[in-house]
Structure 1
Amino acid sequence: MLGLVSAPSGSDAVLVFKVAFPIGIGLASAVFLTIKAATRDTLNIDKAIPTVSYRLGETSHDAEYDEDPDLFMARCQEQYGPVFNMHRRNRWSTVVSDPLVREVFMTDDLSFGDAVDELTGIHAFTSSVIKSKKGFDHPTIHEIIRDIVTPNLALFTPRIVERMQAITDRDLGHSQGRNLIEDPLVIFQEMIASAMATVFMGHEIAKERKVLDTFIDCTGDLAGLIDPRSRSTWRPYFNRAKYGIANPLQKHIRILVEAATPVVQERRRQEAEALEKGVDYTRPLDIMQKVLDNFDKYGIVDLEDVCGHLLVLVLVSVHTTSDSSTYLNYYLAAFPECIDVLYQEQLEVLVQIGKEREEQRQSKLTSGEAGSVKDFVGTELDPRNDRDFSSLAVRRMVKMDSFVREIMRFRTDRANTPHTARKDVVLSNGMTIYKGRMIMINMQSTHQNPDMQGEDPAEFRPWRFVGKGKAATKVGTDFLPFGMGKHACPGRFLAMQEVKTVGALMVSRYSKIEMQDPSQKTKALRSLIGEKVPTGLYFTSREPRND
């Protein structure tokens, strides 16, 4: 456990020095690095890479880009080729378009993690909470997701659904009229945080309100760190100085450790008791337990270190998944005709799964493996679970999957997924990306490319990917929100399972979702991650509650 060290009486000067010295170092470093960053933009640029001209009277490309990102990026690629320099948000970057995009993702010396840290200072934010490993993009985090989270997704899904249903009943509920939710993000953030708390920490810990609050609050801390609209070049340096001294994540770690300690002690007691009696100990199904069971494999130091890793998982999952779940509902409001289509698909999937499960039960009864229907109660073939939103059911909802993938394709910022060159890199067209240069991907060249996306790529077509073998988790040059190659986001399977489950719950319970202010439709459809839409949503229940 972390503790506070008190200064002895009469040591005010020492205390002032202890506080002022790191602040002074941080500010000096910030000034130095800012000057370095400001001057670096004019250096180390291959003169063969063309620079996009400004409109008359403008000193950046911000205004032209913001007016119509698709038009701007398409014009730049047509006029300057697949690689060009642009000045946006007070920063020069080299934009790489199709067909060179794949090279960026497949080149280890072009780093996404370095770029995110350069833009936000996120390493200083996350590194202090992980004692054994440093950095939010350290391989250990990826290994835990790969080894524990993804293989157990089907087992985690029932409790995810249970928590989501509980929050839906409590906060959205049923109404004979229209139920207005002025800030939908608050509800979907709680829904995702509640589901993640029980998966990451176990139901005993997740039921504590302070744990749920810390899951929500820490994502708010992260949102402030990565504000997509920030144009300040000072931000990453200010963040590094600030979080190197007073990191809000330390408070969250203390809360998790305090809540986890008695639970872990009780689990150890039960395990020792089972061992003494010579019986098997039923290990709890949560990520905390599995990390504790494999602490040596992952180089975990202690329970505080376990909670640090889990908190980083929360940071990289709850924020973006809450955001995606919220905006899925804005898209359902913008395209109301999709709700009944998705609802009918859902009914058909659940009916088919119910038939398959009944066939399995009858087969077991016929073979004598089960004596009566009562034998299935409490098992995986319990008839009461036939219409549950299981992992299988959600996976079979192909129209919902297409709807989610199309949202992510349509909504993604057109200059996105930054990478920083760790050394000089020569692209296949002969152009050089010099060490320290930042690259942005021209998403318009891939996500709005008719050769990759089919006809009318500028339009939102919810069933675009049905029958195409392109699931929302399938990465490639034609779908880049999760990156691609060996550096693709390993948590995308959990994230998409959650988002689609939210969608399934919404269309099953509400026949209509409407925007409080329809004039904000365009804003809602094109908003960036973390950007709030200035309108609430109305939810109309399918089955009014009988009071």
Structure 2
Amino acid sequence: MYFSFETIPTFVWVFIATYAIYLIKKPRLSKNEPPMVPYKYPIIGHTVDYALNADNFLVECRQKYGDPFNIYVFGQVFTIAGNEIAHEVYKQSDTFSLTIATRDMFPLYRVLKSVLDPGTLEQVVKTIREGITAKLSLYTGRLQKQIMTYINKEIGDCSSPKLIKTANDNFASMIARPIADVLVGQEISKNEDVIKAFADFTKDFTKILAIPPILSFIHPKVHTQVITLPLRIGFNPILKHLITLKKHLKPVLEKRLKEKKILGEKYEPPVDIVEYFLDNPEYETKAITDDYLTKITEFLFSIVVASIHTTSRHLTSALYDFAGRPEFWDDIYEEQLRIDKECNGELTPHHINKMVKLDSFLRESLRTFDAVASTPHRCLESYTFKNGMTIPKGRTVQTYLMDIHYNTTAYGPEPRSFLPYHGLENNFSASRTDKNFFMFGAGKHACPGRFFAVSEIKIGLHKLILNYHIRTPSGKVEKKVHYGPFSEPPVAGLIFESRKK
């Protein structure tokens, strides 16, 4: 290879730039920090292992370096907290912030400006607890009707086996219907454009985040600025969803305000989050202005982000777990058939609670979802764990979910095996959080919508199992799709065949 004299300065500057980045980005650990796992490649660190083989990589790190330990990924030091330490992180809610860490990794505030307001999250949590969880019994019948609407429309008659592809939406439309019913009421939830807006909102936003954080090697904020650049220059793939909801929501809000004024105490308020919002003194209004409409629309989509995408993924995953395990089909079907006869097809919370085998199966599906590490928390001030290790202010702590969900103390010598009745045998419901089950978080900041989500999934599974034989194309358990430490349901599709009545 020939090198001219002119190329020498180029190589020199490349070498200097690379070495400068190395010096700047070289991890600098404080005293008494968790051990840093050694890595081979400067600047890159553990990025390749973490991105391509997170499960095996973190298992090996845990065995060699204990809990917690530090890794260096995409230009940042992360502390990985497993079964022994994660509980301490979740208990120290004043020191570790899930909200700030998530906001940096999932910059939704670029679209929903109200997300930046610290009071928004508190209001969302309060709304879910008071407006949804506390009124769950009032929603049960409506959830069933919406789910059956989806089943009849999208799956329908399967007298001959029908392959339903799941890769594109993971039954998001099935979950979006009852969510829309609860959030915006029965008038709007029948509108297919609104259903589509709810189902596609999170999916369309995550397309922006699909770019690997390569620029984080320079600085995490550089990556965030680049991936959100389209939003700042006017290309907003989810703006259409906001416009759709505002269009259909405005006449409903105006109608309700008018009826309240005319009827006074005789006004019968609908049971939904829109009405809860209108009744909140903080959001009281005499006219539906565009600013007010934007505020309530962004608030509703804040709940959508936290509900539809996650719930639909876990419903889909549970269907795959059921479809690939024929040894449990009859047992779970018989429970659903018995409950269906008891309630004459109209489920109540009492009947949903009696689905103990289905509930236990769902809990196990959630436990074995195979997300390796997730739920980041930002350390707001230097913190020393009870074991004496200290992490500095600004550090992100990742929850090592597999270390929690696959620990031998709780789940026996083969914790990675599927234990469908572990929850039933130990009196653990699918919505219950404990030190060995972090699917919904832990402590006082555990997901407030988990009771609604579990009920929704159980109703969906109940109706589908009652109406169809469901199996995988291979006849076996399909493998989940992994993206670094994250997982998604399989994409092989599910075969539905109508049961003979």
TM-score tier, shorter chain, comes to 0.7 to 0.9
Q: 1:252 maps to which residue?
A: 241
1:433 to 370, 391, 406: 391
Query: Where does residue 458 of structure 1 map in the other structure?
Result: 416
User: TM-score under structure 2 normalisation?
Assistant: 0.84
Post-superposition CA distance 1:123-154 (Å, at most 9, x none): 3333x256xx7269621111111111111111
TM-superposed CA distance for 1:60, in Å, is 4.2
Cα distance in 1 for partners of 2:487, 2:194 equals 22
Aligned AA for 1:80?
Y
Cα distance in 2, alignment partners of residues 229 and 503 from structure 1: 35
- Find the aligned partners of 1:430 and 1:84 in 2 and give their Cα distance: 13
Q: Could you tell me which of 261, 265, 271 is aligned with 2:260?
A: 271
Pair 1:348-2:342 in alignment = no
CA distance in 2, matches of 1:480, 1:177: 40
Please, what is the CA RMSD of the aligned residues?
Answer: 3.3
Specify the alignment match of 2:137 in structure 1. 154
Offset at residue 508 of structure 1 (A): 0.7
Counterpart in 1 of 2:282? 296
Q: Match for 1:523 among 473, 480, 485?
A: 480
Q: How many pairs does the alignment contain?
A: 471
Is the contact made by 1:62 and 1:87 (CA closer than 8 Å) also made in structure 2?
yes
> What whole-Å deviation, never above 9, does each CA across 1:450-482 have from its counterpart, x for those lacking one?
212345211011111113221111112211121
Long gaps (5+) in structure 1: 1-34, 355-385
2:311 alignment counterpart: 321
> CA shift at 1:167, angstroms?
0.9
**Contact kept in structure 2, 1:201 and 1:288, CA below 8 Å:** yes
What amino acid does structure 2 have at the position aligned with 1:450? T
- Aligned partner of 1:199 in structure 2 is 182
**Matched residues in 1 for 2:39 and 2:359: separation?**
40
Partner of 1:383: none
Match for residue 372 of structure 2 among 408, 411, 414: 414
Output aligned runs, 1:50-449, within 5 Å.
Answer: 50-54=35-39, 60-61=45-46, 64=49, 69-88=54-73, 91-107=76-92, 108-126=94-112, 128=113, 134=117, 138-183=121-166, 185-186=168-169, 188-225=171-208, 227=210, 233=216, 234-246=222-234, 247-275=236-264, 280-296=266-282, 302-351=292-341, 353-354=342-343, 386-449=344-407
Alpha-carbon distance, 1:449 to partner: 0.9
Cα distance 1:268–1:125, how it changes in 2: closer, same or farther (>3 A)? closer
How far 1:267 sits from its partner (Å)?
2.4
Tell whether the 8 Å contact from 2:55 to 2:485 is kept in structure 1 after alignment. no
The structural deviation recorded for 1:201 is 0.5
Q: Deviations over 1:331-361 (max 9, x none)?
A: 122212223221111223344x44xxxxxxx
1:27 aligns with none
Distance in 2 between residues matched to 1:39 and 1:209, nearest whole Å? 52
In 1: Cα distance, 2:449 partner to 2:22 partner: 32
Aligned pair partner of 2:425 in 447, 467, 470: 467
Q: Is the 8 A contact 1:425 1:432 kept in 2?
A: yes
Q: Deviation at 1:406?
A: 0.9
Deviation string 1:278-332 (CA, Å, 9 cap, x unpaired) is x722211111011111142799983332222111111111111111112222112
| CA-CA distance at 1:393 after TM superposition | 1.6
- 1:537 pairs with 2:494: yes
- Given that 1:222 and 1:315 are in contact with CA atoms closer than 8 Å, whether structure 2 keeps it comes out as no
Question: Is this contact kept in 1: 2:167–2:491, CA < 8 A?
Answer: no
How far is 1:269 from its partner?
3.1
Q: Specify the code of the residue in structure 2 equivalent to 1:281.
A: Y
Q: Which residue of 2 aligns with 1:492?
A: 450
TM-score in terms of structure 1 length: 0.77
CA positional deviation for 1:109: 1.5
Q: Indicate how the Cα distance of structure 1 residues 478 and 173 shifts in structure 2: closer, same or farther if over 3 A, else same.
A: same
Q: Which has the higher mean CA deviation after the structures are superposed, 144-153 or 387-396? A: 387-396
Flag structure 2 segments of 5+ consecutive residues without an equivalent.
1-19, 217-221
Q: Which amino acid aligns with 1:100?
A: I
